[in-house]
Amino acid sequence: MTEPAPKNAPRVRMDPAERRAQLLATARDVFAEKGYAASGLAEIAERAGVNKRLVYYYFPDGRSELFKAVMADVTAELVRTVQQATRAPVHTAKKVERLVEALVAFFAEEPAAFAVLFRDPYGVREPDVVLEAVVAQAELAREFATLLSTAGAPADTLLAVSSGVVAYVMRVIEMAVAGEIDRDTTVDACMTCILGVMTQVGLPPA
């Protein structure tokens, strides 16, 4: 978590890439703590130790652009995590299990990331923010589809299965983030659903 800059502290000069990264990290903390609707650029700027005008310089469209940039960063981290988890040369079902375990672990370690990607966007009624959330879901669906494609399923089947699986898995993970179920139960519930769907549509686990 980024530490708030002391009041009246001299501004630290950074190159543009460093400054943008700092603003994103600070915004991520604020959005995680307060949610999108309750977060303002003034607080983000204060915590970063900069003038609000500087935030607009890097993010001209303001809060929504900054939030979408944070969402894109979290999505990229999530995709890297699941891709690393599925690199091992094992059969399809085991790769799917590793993907699910990686998702569960990611959100267990960063529960605020779930709100940023899958809860807050749908409560603000801003189409461009919702679109970024859809992108995150689509990226996860692509990872599932990539694994299941090795079973030789038709494209339309892959699309339906991967999209449905993501919706179910994220709902179960939401329960885990809320503390309603533990990690083992989360993984078991997800895998029971996924393996059942694979069997129903004729996708062999190997």
CA dihedral 133, 118, 107, 168 (to 10 degrees): -100
SS3 153: coil
What local confidence, expressed as pLDDT, does residue 206 receive?
58
Q: Does the pLDDT value for residue 7 go beyond 70?
A: no
Q: Does the pLDDT value for residue 11 go beyond 80?
A: no
Q: Mean pLDDT throughout 111-118?
A: 91
The owner of tokens 């494609």 is 149
**Domains of the chain: residue spans and CATH:** 16-62 (1.10.10.60), 64-200 (1.10.357.10)
What local confidence, expressed as pLDDT, does residue 91 receive?
84
What local confidence, expressed as pLDDT, does residue 114 receive?
93
Model confidence at 13, pLDDT cuts 50, 70, 90, reads confident
Q: Does the pLDDT value for residue 179 go beyond 90?
A: yes
Q: Pick from 175, 68, 47: which is nearest to 124 by CA?
A: 68
Calculate helix-pair angle for 16-34, 63-85, nearest 10 degrees.
90
The owner of tokens 């400054």 is 19
How do residues 42-97 score in pLDDT, each as one tens digit?
A: 999 999 999 999 999 999 999 999 999 999 999 999 999 999 999 888 788 888 99
What local confidence, expressed as pLDDT, does residue 90 receive?
79
How do residues 142-171 score in pLDDT, each as one tens digit?
A: 999 988 887 667 788 888 889 999 999 999
Q: Mean pLDDT throughout 11-16?
A: 74
Using CA atoms, how far apart are residues 179 and 157, in angstroms rounded to an integer?
33
What local confidence, expressed as pLDDT, does residue 42 receive?
95
Asked which of 20-29, 72-81, 121-130, 174-183 is least confident by mean pLDDT, the reply is 121-130
Model confidence at 2, pLDDT cuts 50, 70, 90, reads low
Q: Mean pLDDT throughout 127-140?
A: 93
